[in-house]
Amino acid sequence: MSKLSALLSGLVFGIGLLVSGMANPAKVLGFLDLAGRWDPSLMLVMGGAIAVGLVSFALVKNWPRALNGQPMQIPGNRQIDRRLIVGSLMFGVGWGIAGFCPGPALVALGLALPKALVFVAAMLAGMLLFQWRPGKS
Amino acid sequence: MTIDWLDFTPWSALAGGALIGLAATLMLVLIGRIAGISGILGGALGFPRGDSAWRWAFVAGLLLSPWVFRLAHPLPPVRIDAGYASLIVAGLLVGYGTRLGSGCTSGHGVCGLSRLSPRSLAATLSFMAAGFVAAYVAHHLLGVGS
């Protein structure tokens, strides 16, 4: 059940990215590039997603378990530290250069676009570099 | 700055966003997990170890989504203007940065803000600000794609 649920969620997520136009890096850059003609669409995508998410997270707030019987795994970390900010800044720089964040990159990879393949390969390499970084805390 | 009314697509943005919220809801209600794509992918690569089957299933759903979408509707454009060198630099930053910062647009931006996490708000403001600056520098000062 967990695998099927995750597959379904991934499918719906990807279709949402396609419907919203966010699977298209050119449209994402239309939002991130404030100096040109600015396309505010991304803000409404976040707004639509969060409007639904607010209800869902409120609904499950006191659930001990999900419907598959497993305990809910919602992050409890509330600390705003250097690692969070530096990592998010690095991510933002990469996002602003290419217009890709992880979800849309995987959708574009599904279409077997050569540039998406290169981006995803570099992204996975970045994740492995993080995993193997020296002196990790 | 001028609003690009020609490319602004409020209704499909809201509808697609609602679908993304629905996907996050399915993960949460059915298996009790956050639909954070960088975290799911990082976990699937083997860290932290164990329980990776559902992670690969989620990734498979994302990869298959354009083919399912296509059954009902012609695919929208996916235009990647950045060159290969830029894509490699950007990919490395996105991969490393999302792991260091424990999340991306989905985990912090959608799920984190939905559960009113101050930590995710700080992350989202950081990557948005960096994204605006990087887009300006890359596309107006350095002329990387555009």
Predicted confidence (pLDDT) per residue in A19-44, tens digit:
999 999 999 999 999 998 899 999 99
Q: For A64-107, how does the pLDDT look when each residue is reduced to its tens digit (9 = 90+)?
A: 999 999 999 998 888 999 999 999 999 999 999 999 999 999 99
- String of DSSP letters for chain B: -EE-TTT--HHHHHHHHHHHHHHHHHIIIII-----HHHHHHHHTTSS-S--HHHHHHHHHHHHHHHHHHHHSPPPP----S-HHHHHHHHHHHHHHHHHTT--IIIIIIIIHHTT-HHHHHHHHHHHHHHHHHHHIIIIIS----
Contacts of B131 in chain A (CB under 8 A): 32, 92-93, 95-96
pTM for this model (two decimals): 0.95
Chain-chain contact of A3 with B54 (C-beta, under 8 angstroms) = yes
Q: Does B70 touch chain A (CB under 8 A)?
A: no
**Nearest-CB residue to B105 (from A72, A103, A106):** A103
Residue environment code for B119-134, b if the CB has 16+ CB neighbours within 10 A, otherwise e: bbebbbebbbebbbbb
pLDDT single digits (tens) B9-18: 999 999 999 9
Side-chain-side CA neighbours of residue B106 (13 Å) = 33
Tell whether B44 lies on the interface with A, counting CB pairs under 8 A: no
Residue A12 pLDDT grade (very low, low, confident, very high; cuts 50, 70, 90): very high
Give the nearest partner residue to A10 out of B4, B62, B88, using CB atoms: B62
B18 contact residues in A (CB cutoff 8 A) = 16, 48-49, 51-52
What are phi and psi for residue A48, nearest 5 degrees? -65, -45
Put simply, the answer to whether A9 touches B58 (Cβ < 8 Å) is yes
Residue B146 pLDDT > 50: no
